[in-house]
Amino acid sequence: MNVSNVVNNDLCLSCGFCEPACPNNAVNIKFDTQKGYHIPEINELKCDNSGLCYAVCPGVEVDFSELNSNRKCTIPEFQHFGNVLSTSVLFANNREIRKNAASGGFITALINYLFDSKQIDGAIVTKNSYDQPFNPVGYIARNKEDLLKSQMSIYHTVPMGKVMTELQQSSGKYVFVGIACQTHGLLKYMQIFPEIKDKIFLILGTFCGGYQTSLAHEYYFPKQGIDISKMKSIDYRYGEFPGQFNLGLNNGEKIEIGRRFKTKKKANQYSVAFNSSFYVPRCYTCADKGNILSDITAGDPWLPKFKNEKLGKSLIVSRTELGEKLINEAINSGYLTKEDAKFKDVMDVQKFDRERHGNQLAYKKVFSFFNKPYPKYSFIGKVKIYNRFVYFRVVADVIRLNIRERKSLWFLLRPLYFVESQIKNYFINNKPLEYLAKRLKGKWS
């Protein structure tokens, strides 16, 4: 068995770990323009069905208990959020690092400290490709200057497989920075190739709401008057927090598109494009938005008290003793500034993660009903459905999966988003259904 079955069943996460796992170089990760994300292609002449590519795939199965044993931390009763030693808000003391970062520069500042204290030899990170806007790459930053190329968020698939090949040929200790599915892929890869385990010094995870495909850009930017065929580069979080799109065109022109919308129409266009309509299909059934198997998880502090923040800060969950120790060392050495954050703050910001994890049983039932493949999780059957609204959400996701690759049907995405948001806002919050009926009779702008 190989990962062609994974692709055919829409379970591929574009993590890319299958590529270096193949002993015969039969797997090649390529960007699929129709799907809008990276997928593996199999050279059947080279494939001997060793099954290694399938074994490392996190899209098919994630056994949290088994993978967690490698990280030396425990999953508590609050299972959906993983181990928590402490929570805080942190930001880089270096103003340039903080200014150029998406969320306060915590990750860059911490890795800089590890470089300066000679605890690591490099960091496995990602960067934009400034001649192929939808083809960002993973790389090993081996010094602080090289690390700066990784600043800014990337909301598109980034295969990490080729980095593993370089890592296996390298000596020393390395930090791995990634979203949850990349963390899962790394840990599964370490099970098959244990020599990697001693090289991964620390896993820095980020919260993730879902990987966007290039279809989201094809939907959104033309509505803003942008011809995406002329786009050469894209920064997703440019400038002051929370950042804005910074697009580079082939003629050298730069166009900035903000995220603070003046009209409801503009806000709705953005929400339809980037709030789940065009996720990588496997992202819909992700149960780990909080990156619970990392040593430290970082993300934006979407809290009212930070509403007017200009430079950005990071909301931090310290999950292991190593992560806690390194954060304190970096603070004491002047690389980071710390502000208090309660665990409730984290839960309020990351409630989407709680819903996704708690509702996976519903996803499994609905996907099975529609004959949609569903990944295997170790906890399914042990969690309660978070709310009954999820059944409508899952059906809506199934509809999106059938609409997204048919551009002639994209006009349906906006009313679908409207209906879903209204049902969520008023039905689940025990608001009168009559109010929903009145809204449905009106027009959405």
Work out the angle at residue 197's Cα, subtended by the Cα atoms of residues 59 and 178, and round it to the nearest 5 degrees: 45
What is the model's pTM? Answer: 0.90
Confidence of residue 73 (pLDDT cuts 50, 70, 90): low
pLDDT exceeds 60 at position 203: yes
Least confident of 19-23, 31-35, 302-306, 407-411: 302-306
| Residue 323 reports pLDDT greater than 80 | yes
Long-range contacts of 156-159 (CB under 8 A, 24+ apart): 156/37, 156/211, 156/212, 156/213, 156/214, 157/13, 157/14, 157/37, 157/38, 157/211, 157/213, 157/280, 158/14, 158/16, 158/126, 158/182, 159/14, 159/15, 159/16, 159/19, 159/29, 159/38
Question: What is the structure's pLDDT at 316?
Answer: 93
What CATH architecture is 214-277?
A: Beta Barrel (2.40)
- pLDDT-above-90 percentage for the chain: 49
Nearest to 277 by CA among 119, 406, 112: 406
Using DSSP, state whether 83 is helix, strand or coil.
coil
> How far is residue 287's CA from residue 377's CA, in Å, rounded to a whole number?
8
Match domain 4-212+285-352 to its CATH number in 1.20.120, 3.30.70, 3.30.499, 3.40.640: 3.40.640
Q: Which two tokens stand for residue 381?
A: 């059957």
Q: How many CB atoms lie within 10 A of CB 134?
A: 21
- Evaluate whether 355 touches 387 at the Cβ level (below 8 Å): yes
Span 54-71, mean pLDDT? 86
Mean of the pLDDT values across residues 195-220? Answer: 92
Phi, psi of 139 (to 5 degrees): -155, 165
> Quick one: average pLDDT of 383-398?
75
> What pLDDT, on a 0 to 100 scale, did the predictor assign at position 440?
52
Give the domain ranges of the chain. 4-212+285-352, 214-277, 359-441
The whole-number pLDDT of residue 185 equals 96
